[in-house]
Chains A and B, each alone.
Chain A
């Protein structure tokens, strides 16, 4: 019996690969996977995409600088020493009206 569609497989794919689905449901996913080459390819390339994103962003092409630009570290230390010159500096707290999740 193959009672899972590709749409369902793809929708819950991350739960499947991180072990976040119930064991009895897991068997359904494995059955679908063994019968569906496209979903096998999809799972493999989904995981590849995560690895490629991680590697590309963390690659040596985008290194962590050895030190801060002098002007920046001076600006930071000045803002600390003379807070009166920087009264508008915001306290970074999420604003309820600005949430991106809706």
Chain B
């Protein structure tokens, strides 16, 4: 599931290393990279979908973390703090990318007639999500459909539903309002629902 929560031993090890980390101890930092690197790599891979860029983003993240550690206040867990820094590093790379052509989200939203009732009524899928998810090909299909969402909607969906960030944190990281995050998340889920309705076998 999500990259959070962290195991208690991991947090305890962070706690133990914190004074050394704040003092710039290299061995403590190497242990930090070992402990958190793999999980953070999975996070930036999901956002960037490019191995090379994911590696660069992770390096950016640890470099910034290293710089910021002396002022780390310890009000959140170190793992949570690193998670946010890694997401931020990935978002910076996403923003710097040339945008690929994408289908507007509106084409993936439900349509209504002038009285506000549904126009296109497809048969909703009947098989339960849990049964479907047992099949690897369904999970692969869901991932492909998420990849078809416009990048900004895909990002909000990942940050809110997968990384489990709060609306406020997502808004801060994306540089927008909480209202914009809520609207975008709802549209992203609606679009995914619509794509699933079209693509899932009946």
Question: A69–B33 Cα gap in the complex (Å)?
Answer: 12
Q: B189 and A72: CB pair below 8 A?
A: no
Q: How far is the CB of B39 from chain A (nearest CB, A)?
A: 5
Q: How large is the interface on A (under 10, 10 to 19, 20 to 34, 35 or more residues)?
A: 35 or more
Given contact pairs A75-B55, A100-B152, A13 touches B186 in the complex (Cβ within 8 A): yes
Which residues from chain A contact B74 at a C-beta distance below 8 Å? none
A-B contact count (CB 8 A): 203
Q: B161 and A61: CB pair below 8 A?
A: no
Q: How large is the interface on B (under 10, 10 to 19, 20 to 34, 35 or more residues)?
A: 35 or more
Q: B46 and A52: CB pair below 8 A?
A: no
Q: Is B117 an interface residue (CB 8 A)?
A: yes
Question: A99–B15 Cα gap in the complex (Å)?
Answer: 35
Q: Is A27 an interface residue (CB 8 A)?
A: no
Question: A55–B39 Cα gap in the complex (Å)?
Answer: 17
0/1 per residue, A12-23, Cβ < 8 Å to B? 011000000000
Contact of A65 among B38, B63, B118, B152 (CB under 8 A): B38
Contact of A99 among B46, B66, B174 (CB under 8 A): B174
Q: How far is the CB of B27 from chain A (nearest CB, A)?
A: 10
Q: A56 and B197: CB pair below 8 A?
A: no
Q: Is A25 an interface residue (CB 8 A)?
A: no
Chain A residue nearest to B177 (CB atoms) is: A101
Q: Is A86 an interface residue (CB 8 A)?
A: yes
Q: A61 and B196: CB pair below 8 A?
A: no
Which residues from chain B contact A28 at a C-beta distance below 8 Å? none
Q: How far is the CB of A28 from chain B (nearest CB, A)?
A: 14
Q: A57 and B146: CB pair below 8 A?
A: yes
Which residues from chain B contact A41 at a C-beta distance below 8 Å? 124
Question: A77–B128 Cα gap in the complex (Å)?
Answer: 47
Q: How far is the CB of B47 from chain A (nearest CB, A)?
A: 11
Q: Is B41 an interface residue (CB 8 A)?
A: yes
- The 26 listed contacts between A and B (C-beta, < 8 Å) are A6-B118, A38-B121, A48-B196, A49-B189, A51-B129, A53-B161, A55-B133, A55-B142, A56-B146, A57-B162, A61-B136, A62-B45, A64-B38, A64-B39, A67-B34, A68-B41, A75-B55, A79-B63, A83-B63, A90-B60, A91-B64, A94-B172, A95-B175, A101-B177, A101-B180, A101-B184
Q: Please name the 7 residue pairs, one residue from A and one from B, whose CB atoms are nearest each other, closest first.
A: A101-B176, A5-B116, A99-B175, A56-B142, A41-B124, A7-B116, A48-B129
